[in-house]
Protein backbone atom coordinates (compact mmCIF):
# COMPACT_ATOMS: atom_id res chain seq x y z
CA UNK A 1 0.00 0.00 0.00
CA UNK A 2 1.62 3.24 -1.07
CA UNK A 3 1.21 6.69 0.42
CA UNK A 4 -1.62 7.68 -1.89
CA UNK A 5 -3.57 4.54 -1.02
CA UNK A 6 -3.28 5.40 2.64
CA UNK A 7 -4.29 8.98 2.01
CA UNK A 8 -7.35 8.09 -0.06
CA UNK A 9 -9.79 7.56 2.81
CA UNK A 10 -8.29 10.47 4.70
CA UNK A 11 -8.88 12.86 1.82
CA UNK A 12 -12.66 12.57 2.11
CA UNK A 13 -12.54 13.28 5.81
CA UNK A 14 -10.04 16.07 5.25
CA UNK A 15 -12.27 17.64 2.63
CA UNK A 16 -15.20 17.52 5.04
CA UNK A 17 -13.16 19.00 7.87
CA UNK A 18 -13.53 15.91 10.00
CA UNK A 19 -9.89 15.29 10.80
CA UNK A 20 -8.12 16.38 13.91
CA UNK A 21 -5.31 18.88 13.79
CA UNK A 22 -2.48 16.44 13.53
CA UNK A 23 -4.05 14.18 10.95
CA UNK A 24 -4.95 17.24 8.93
CA UNK A 25 -1.34 18.19 9.09
CA UNK A 26 -0.33 14.76 7.83
CA UNK A 27 -2.69 15.10 4.88
CA UNK A 28 -1.51 18.63 4.11
CA UNK A 29 2.05 17.42 4.23
CA UNK A 30 1.29 14.72 1.70
CA UNK A 31 -0.71 17.09 -0.48
CA UNK A 32 2.25 19.42 -0.60
CA UNK A 33 4.21 16.73 -2.37
CA UNK A 34 1.63 14.78 -4.33
CA UNK A 35 -0.02 16.36 -7.39
CA UNK A 36 -2.28 13.30 -7.85
CA UNK A 37 -3.81 13.67 -4.41
CA UNK A 38 -4.14 17.44 -4.86
CA UNK A 39 -6.11 16.69 -8.01
CA UNK A 40 -8.20 14.16 -6.10
CA UNK A 41 -8.97 16.75 -3.46
CA UNK A 42 -9.89 19.29 -6.12
CA UNK A 43 -12.26 16.74 -7.64
CA UNK A 44 -13.89 16.22 -4.26
CA UNK A 45 -14.39 19.95 -4.06
CA UNK A 46 -15.96 20.03 -7.52
CA UNK A 47 -18.34 17.21 -6.66
CA UNK A 48 -19.37 19.06 -3.53
CA UNK A 49 -20.00 22.19 -5.59
CA UNK A 50 -22.15 20.23 -8.06
CA UNK A 51 -24.21 18.81 -5.23
CA UNK A 52 -24.72 22.24 -3.69
CA UNK A 53 -25.69 23.68 -7.05
CA UNK A 54 -28.14 20.86 -7.64
CA UNK A 55 -29.75 21.42 -4.25
CA UNK A 56 -30.13 25.10 -4.92
CA UNK A 57 -31.85 24.65 -8.27
CA UNK A 58 -35.43 25.94 -8.09
CA UNK A 59 -38.02 23.23 -8.25
CA UNK A 60 -40.67 23.21 -10.91
CA UNK A 61 -43.71 25.08 -9.57
CA UNK A 62 -45.98 22.12 -10.11
CA UNK A 63 -43.63 19.48 -8.70
CA UNK A 64 -45.43 19.04 -5.42
CA UNK A 65 -48.80 18.79 -7.12
CA UNK A 66 -47.44 16.14 -9.39
CA UNK A 67 -45.93 14.17 -6.49
CA UNK A 68 -49.04 14.48 -4.34
CA UNK A 69 -51.09 13.11 -7.16
CA UNK A 70 -49.03 9.95 -7.08
CA UNK A 71 -49.36 9.39 -3.34
CA UNK A 72 -52.15 7.32 -1.82
CA UNK A 73 -55.04 9.46 -0.69
CA UNK A 74 -54.51 8.81 3.06
CA UNK A 75 -50.88 9.98 2.93
CA UNK A 76 -51.95 12.95 0.90
CA UNK A 77 -54.46 13.87 3.59
CA UNK A 78 -51.87 13.78 6.36
CA UNK A 79 -49.21 15.57 4.33
CA UNK A 80 -47.94 18.90 5.65
CA UNK A 81 -48.29 22.12 3.78
CA UNK A 82 -46.26 22.20 0.55
CA UNK A 83 -43.79 24.74 1.87
CA UNK A 84 -43.09 22.69 4.98
CA UNK A 85 -42.65 19.48 3.07
CA UNK A 86 -40.33 21.19 0.65
CA UNK A 87 -37.85 22.03 3.41
CA UNK A 88 -37.53 18.41 4.43
CA UNK A 89 -37.61 16.89 1.01
CA UNK A 90 -34.70 18.82 -0.37
CA UNK A 91 -31.92 16.98 1.48
CA UNK A 92 -33.46 13.67 0.52
CA UNK A 93 -32.83 14.22 -3.16
CA UNK A 94 -30.40 11.85 -4.73
CA UNK A 95 -26.95 13.36 -5.01
CA UNK A 96 -25.59 11.26 -7.88
CA UNK A 97 -28.67 9.84 -9.50
CA UNK A 98 -28.86 7.14 -6.83
CA UNK A 99 -31.97 6.67 -4.82
CA UNK A 100 -31.72 8.79 -1.71
CA UNK A 101 -31.60 5.73 0.55
CA UNK A 102 -28.82 4.24 -1.58
CA UNK A 103 -26.83 7.46 -1.34
CA UNK A 104 -27.30 7.49 2.40
CA UNK A 105 -26.13 3.88 2.61
CA UNK A 106 -23.05 4.66 0.51
CA UNK A 107 -22.29 7.68 2.69
CA UNK A 108 -22.68 5.59 5.83
CA UNK A 109 -20.38 2.95 4.36
CA UNK A 110 -17.74 5.54 3.52
CA UNK A 111 -17.97 7.03 6.97
CA UNK A 112 -17.53 3.58 8.48
CA UNK A 113 -14.55 2.90 6.20
CA UNK A 114 -12.93 6.16 7.30
CA UNK A 115 -13.56 5.40 10.94
CA UNK A 116 -12.51 1.77 10.87
CA UNK A 117 -9.98 1.53 8.11
CA UNK A 118 -7.70 4.46 8.60
CA UNK A 119 -4.49 3.47 10.32
CA UNK A 120 -3.41 5.82 13.03
CA UNK A 121 -0.18 6.89 11.39
CA UNK A 122 0.24 10.09 13.29
CA UNK A 123 1.70 9.17 16.56
CA UNK A 124 1.70 11.77 19.31
CA UNK A 125 1.66 8.86 21.73
CA UNK A 126 3.45 6.54 19.32
CA UNK A 127 1.19 3.87 17.99
CA UNK A 128 3.36 1.71 15.81
CA UNK A 129 2.43 -0.66 13.02
CA UNK A 130 4.43 -3.42 11.39
CA UNK A 131 5.77 -0.99 8.83
CA UNK A 132 6.50 1.89 11.17
CA UNK A 133 9.99 3.29 11.16
CA UNK A 134 9.81 4.48 14.75
CA UNK A 135 9.41 1.52 17.09
CA UNK A 136 9.91 3.13 20.47
CA UNK A 137 10.35 6.66 21.65
CA UNK A 138 11.28 8.30 24.90
CA UNK A 139 11.47 12.07 24.84
CA UNK A 140 11.90 12.59 28.57
CA UNK A 141 8.48 14.16 28.74
CA UNK A 142 8.85 16.62 25.90
CA UNK A 143 6.03 16.86 23.37
CA UNK A 144 6.93 15.35 20.03
CA UNK A 145 5.48 15.08 16.57
CA UNK A 146 6.29 12.01 14.50
CA UNK A 147 5.63 11.99 10.78
CA UNK A 148 6.34 8.61 9.29
CA UNK A 149 7.91 8.69 5.86
CA UNK A 150 5.26 7.48 3.48
CA UNK A 151 7.46 6.27 0.67
CA UNK A 152 10.86 5.96 -0.87
CA UNK A 153 12.92 9.04 -0.25
CA UNK A 154 10.40 10.65 2.08
CA UNK A 155 11.95 11.26 5.43
CA UNK A 156 10.54 10.16 8.72
CA UNK A 157 10.46 13.23 10.92
CA UNK A 158 10.72 13.21 14.69
CA UNK A 159 10.21 16.76 15.87
CA UNK A 160 10.79 17.56 19.50
CA UNK A 161 8.75 20.55 20.52
CA UNK A 162 9.95 23.20 22.88
CA UNK A 163 9.17 22.79 26.53
CA UNK A 164 6.52 25.50 26.29
CA UNK A 165 4.34 23.16 24.28
CA UNK A 166 3.23 22.46 20.78
CA UNK A 167 3.57 25.51 18.61
CA UNK A 168 0.49 26.11 16.49
CA UNK A 169 -0.11 23.08 14.37
CA UNK A 170 -3.39 24.32 13.01
CA UNK A 171 -2.17 25.59 9.70
CA UNK A 172 0.15 24.18 7.15
CA UNK A 173 3.73 25.21 7.64
CA UNK A 174 2.79 26.90 10.87
CA UNK A 175 5.31 25.19 13.09
CA UNK A 176 8.09 27.61 13.63
CA UNK A 177 11.39 26.02 14.19
Contacts of 55 (CB under 8 A, 6+ apart): 90, 91, 93
Burial call 4-40: b when 16+ CB within 10 Å, e when fewer:
eebbbbbbbbbbeeebeebbbbbbebbbeebeebeeb
Minimum Å gap between C-beta 169 and other proteins is: 9
Q: What are phi and psi of 69, to 5 degrees?
A: -65, -25
Minimum Å gap between C-beta 44 and other proteins is: 20
| Residue with smaller CB distance to other proteins, 36 or 100 | 36
| Residue with smaller CB distance to other proteins, 104 or 158 | 158
In contact, 75 and 43? CB cutoff 8 Å: no
Point out which residues bind other proteins (CB under 8 A).
Answer: 25, 28-29, 32-33, 132-140, 142, 147, 149, 152-160, 162, 172-177
Minimum Å gap between C-beta 83 and other proteins is: 50
Minimum Å gap between C-beta 20 and other proteins is: 16
| Residue with smaller CB distance to other proteins, 39 or 174 | 174
| Residue with smaller CB distance to other proteins, 95 or 122 | 122
Burial call 143-169: b when 16+ CB within 10 Å, e when fewer:
ebbbbbebeeeeeeeeeeeeeeeeeee
Amino acid sequence: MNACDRMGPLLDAYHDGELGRLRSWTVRRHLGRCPACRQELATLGEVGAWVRDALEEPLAPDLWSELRGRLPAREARSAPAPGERLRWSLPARSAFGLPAFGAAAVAAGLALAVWVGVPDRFVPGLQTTATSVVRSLNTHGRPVVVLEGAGAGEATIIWLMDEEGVQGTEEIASVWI
